[in-house]
Amino acid sequence: MRTLQFNQLTPMAAALFAAVMALTACADNDEHAQPVEPETRDASPIGIAVHGGAGTMDRDAMSEEQEREYHEALQEALEAGHSILRDGGDSLDAVQAAVRVLEDSPLFNAGRGSVFTSDEHIEMDAAIMDGRDRNAGALTGVRTVRNPIDLARRIMDESPHVFFSGDGAQTFAEEHGLPMEAPEWFETEQRREALHQAREREAEQGSEFRSQRENVEFNLGTVGAVALDRHGNVAAGTSTGGMTNKRFGRIGDVPILGSGTYANNATGAFSATGHGEYIMRAVTLHDISAQMEYAGRSVEEAADHVVNTKLVEMGGNAGIIAIDRHGNITMPFNTSGMYRGSIDADGNVHTAIFRE
């Protein structure tokens, strides 16, 4: 875990943080500098968590420079969302802003930097969900929409439907004027190399490779965000390029509500990453939410049980991020690492990659 120091912030984030600290100080002065009671402080907590994928991660294989890049990208995403929450904005806008940052970063398997399908295209999936009314927007198989999370939001806001696939999603995006990019904008050499490696492995091991656990390492980097705003509303958003070398219009967990993305004001907001087939077969996030709502489990207990017991028993590699309606954040994973970060109700900023 990396607990953030000011000198580790990017300059822009540091400036914003300084501004917030100053505002907080002013607010305290208005309260006659009385110590803030925990109940008062927690009356309307805000918080955000993000992830950039879970999977097999080797600390020795990652340079310090690479590690720093990941921490910075996670911090930038957290700050993009948290600044909206601090200003009293909506959790939906916060998760959308955070996911957009991670989509634009070539480090992660979403938006720019998405993995390649077997026929060397990029096909992206995304979903967003509003905890207030559980309205949602989801899509699968878009190729040129710059920010799939923005398309998910437009589907939620402007369509009576929830989930669009392929040409239908692309047409909706064009009709609504979403920014597009040429295929080359999304493509990175690293992902093309991963496709070639995956093909070689599949040629050696046969089709079994596709369902094997280590396959997940070729799909690292699904991104997601969950947030709680001052109004007590939670939201979740997730975006991905899917599986390297995927065929047959395969859809993973990301756009499936209750599996890869879920939000409900009665419990919290959740986003998953990992081997999508297992995440779907466990309806992972709805299971966590239901355990909180009907079995009285805390977000930590429910998430830990589903990720570290149920999914492990099924053989599913995965990680999730969750924030409950009180602002408690938990980020369990059963892989060796998960790119993740959070800013909790007390304003503590953490980013981490490996198991702690």
> Mind telling me the catalytic residues?
222
Nearest distance from residue 93's CB to other proteins, in Å?
A: 20
Handedness of CA 134, 259, 251, 126 (dihedral sign): positive
Residues facing residue 261 across a β-bridge:
257, 271
Distances from the Cα of 48 to the Cαs of 164, 233, 303, 309, 327, in angstroms?
27, 12, 17, 25, 8
Show the site string, 164-203: x = touches other proteins by CB under 8 A, - = not: xxxxxx-xx-------------------------------
152 burial via Cβ count (<10 Å: 0-12, 13-18, 19+)? buried
Q: What 8-state DSSP symbol labels residue 260?
A: T
**134 phi, psi to nearest 5 deg:** 55, 25
Distance CA 331, CA 271 (A): 10
Give 75 or 265: the residue with its C-beta nearer to other proteins. Answer: 265
What residues from 4 to 43 belong to the interface with other proteins (CB under 8 A)?
A: none
Show the site string, 92-131: x = touches other proteins by CB under 8 A, - = not: -------------------------------------x--
Nearest distance from residue 84's CB to other proteins, in Å?
A: 24
350 and 333 in contact (C-beta within 8 Å)? no
Distance from chain centroid for Cα 299: 17
Residue 163 contacts other proteins per CB under 8 A: yes
What residues from 38 to 67 belong to the interface with other proteins (CB under 8 A)?
A: none
Range list of β-strands (E), 132-209: 136-142, 163-165
Contacts with other proteins: how many residues (CB under 8 A)? 47
Q: Site for other proteins (CB under 8 A): which residue of 5, 38, 177, 248?
A: 248
10 Å Cβ neighbour count for 352? Answer: 19
Give 112 or 210: the residue with its C-beta nearer to other proteins. Answer: 210
Q: Site for other proteins (CB under 8 A): which residue of 40, 190, 211, 348?
A: 211
What residues from 277 to 336 belong to the interface with other proteins (CB under 8 A)?
A: 277, 280-283, 286-287, 290-291, 294, 314
Of 279, 353, 288, give the one whose Cα is nearest residue 315: 279
What residues from 130 to 159 belong to the interface with other proteins (CB under 8 A)?
A: 133-136, 140-141, 159
Of 320, 322, 154, 295, give the one whose Cα is nearest residue 235: 322
Give 166 or 232: the residue with its C-beta nearer to other proteins. Answer: 166
Q: Site for other proteins (CB under 8 A): which residue of 81, 106, 241, 276?
A: 276
Structure tokens at 211: 């369902």
Nearest distance from residue 62's CB to other proteins, in Å?
A: 29
Give 73 or 136: the residue with its C-beta nearer to other proteins. Answer: 136
Structure tokens at 306: 């589903």
Binding site for other proteins (CB under 8 A): 129, 133-136, 140-141, 159-169, 171-172, 207, 210-211, 246-252, 256-259, 262, 276-277, 280-283, 286-287, 290-291, 294, 314
